[in-house]
Amino acid sequence: MQNREELTTVERAVAKGVADGFLQAEPPKDHSPHGCLLSLIALIGIFVLPAVGARFGIEGVGATILGAVLLVTLILGVIIHFLGGGFVRGRTIGAAEGAIEGLERWDGDREAAIGHAVVLLMNATVEYGPTSSVAFDAREVAGRISPVLPLVTAVEELLVREDYCHPVFTILVFPEAKAD
């Protein structure tokens, strides 16, 4: 890979402090289970409407309006179900991209870079419901932040060792530079 960086005691404390703050923050809400429940209730309502309508005398315009409300509720539930996880994914990817941009503009301020590195590493995967996926292509990002990558991997090693996150850049295999 590249030259190895070591974190000072203060820098380790900064990294762990930022990571602790991240863990204490309110995570984004995944609304997809609510959409599923809403759709299920509306679907049941649509199927039982004829029997319930006949039993309670709901017919004509009343039954049509109730059916339309149930249909709109069903459609809304399906939309929320399929797009609900996007709120979580969008926030995570946005935070990771902001951290990448901060690292790309690195001016030598190690503490700021450590903060950006923690945000990047803690937002490397998106987890919503039973699904998780990567927020960015680690190899591409490693190329974009190559001047500060040794510091980022030092932060990563600390956070992985302390069980804050999973490996992101330290598991990449980089071809060794060939001498001419």
For residue 129, the model assigns a pLDDT of 65
Boundaries of every domain in the chain: 11-23+30-161
Q: Tell which residue, 77, 54, 49, has the closest CA to residue 65.
A: 49
Query: Cα–chain-centroid distance for residue 8?
Result: 30
Q: Are 32 and 81 in contact, with CB atoms under 8 Å apart?
A: yes
Q: How far is CA 146 from CA 64, 118, 141, 159, in A?
A: 63, 16, 8, 19
Residue 177: the pLDDT is 47
Query: What pLDDT score was predicted for residue 90?
Result: 82
Residue linked to tokens 């005398």: 57
pLDDT computed for residue 174 by the predictor = 61
Quickly count: other Cβ atoms within 10 Å of residue 13's Cβ: 11
- Whether the predicted model's global pTM rises above the 0.75 cut: no
Q: What is the DSSP string of 117-148?
A: HHHHHHTSEEEETTEEEESS-HHHHHHHTGGG
Tens digits of pLDDT across the chain (180 residues):
456 789 999 999 999 999 999 899 877 777 778 888 999 999 999 999 988 888 888 888 988 999 999 999 999 988 888 877 667 778 888 999 999 999 999 999 999 999 999 999 999 988 766 777 888 999 999 999 999 999 999 999 999 999 999 999 998 866 554 444
Query: Tokens 């979580």 — which residue?
Result: 88
